[in-house]
Amino acid sequence: MSNIFIHPTALVETEQIGPGTRVWAMAHIMKDATIGANCNIGDHCFVEAGALIGNDVTVKNSNMIWEGVTIADGAFIGPHVFFTNDRFPRSPRYARVNRRYSDREWLVPTYIGEGASLGAGAVLLAGISVGAFAMVGAGAVVTRDVPDHALVIGNPAHLHGWVCYCGLPLHFEASRATCATCNLMFQQTNNSIHRSGTTTIS
């Protein structure tokens, strides 16, 4: 593994890390975890065997990325987001409650789309998909899928607005909005938005 920075106090047991990625203090990356190029994995993180992280992903401190979690390119995982992979967890080592662990059907995947952001301490139930360029507010508890570019907040999380690629909120009038920072134009239709054909920059 060339051009990878691993802090001396980190434990990295996987061979599957892309160039330019940095793993910080006291993080632990298990064998058979996969991390792409140019990522940043913060202090005290844990990445489990089977987790998949794309390229250019920022994983802030203390995150636990379990088997079953896939994170697409360019996502931002805020400080200590709560991923889960079991809808109705029990202690697998206790005979009175471990009936569901006789096979692997308890394992439910989670998908975080390209360029999406998950705010600090957000909680994602197992099985959630977060759309591309969406934003989950800090402390939100996400119980349903999040559309592309949507901003969701609260417990349970609900749709609060829409954000541009850059993360800033879009203000729609007559179903149209232009990002004040990026100058990109968007069109709203029902429960989704998409870029309009005409934009002033590419």
Among 4, 16, 32, 62, binds its own copies (CB under 8 A): 62
Query: Under the criterion CB under 8 A, does residue 19 sit at the interface with its own copies?
Result: no
Secondary structure class of 14 (helix, strand, coil): coil
Mark the segment that binds its own copies (CB under 8 A) among 136-144, 170-178, 186-194: 136-144
Beta bridge partners of 128: none
CA atoms within 13 A on the CB side of 56: 9
Residue with Cβ nearer its own copies (34 or 77): 77
Give the 3-state DSSP-derived string for 68-126, with helices as H, strands as E and coil as C: CEEECCCCEECCCCECCCCCCCCCCCCCCCCHHHHCCCCCCCEEECCCCEECCCCEECC
Query: Under the criterion CB under 8 A, does residue 46 sit at the interface with its own copies?
Result: yes
Query: Using CA atoms, how far apart are residues 120 and 145, in angstroms rounded to an integer?
Result: 18
Query: Under the criterion CB under 8 A, does residue 169 sit at the interface with its own copies?
Result: yes
Residue with Cβ nearer its own copies (1 or 11): 11
Q: Amino acid letter at 6?
A: I
Q: Percent helix, strand, coil in the chain (nearest 5)?
A: 0, 35, 65
* Number of residues lying near its own copies (CB under 8 A): 66
Query: Under the criterion CB under 8 A, does residue 104 sit at the interface with its own copies?
Result: no
Query: Under the criterion CB under 8 A, does residue 120 sit at the interface with its own copies?
Result: yes
Query: Under the criterion CB under 8 A, does residue 44 sit at the interface with its own copies?
Result: yes
Indicate if the alpha-carbon torsion angle 163, 77, 127, 90 is positive or negative: negative
Nearest distance from C-beta of residue 197 to its own copies, angstroms: 19
CA distances from 123 to 81, 120, 154, 167 (A): 6, 9, 10, 20
Nearest distance from C-beta of residue 94 to its own copies, angstroms: 3
Contact residues for its own copies, defined by CB under 8 A: 9, 11, 25-26, 28, 38-40, 42-44, 46, 56-58, 60-62, 64, 73-76, 78-80, 82-84, 88-100, 114-115, 117, 119-121, 123, 125, 133, 135, 138-139, 141, 154-156, 163, 165-169, 181-182
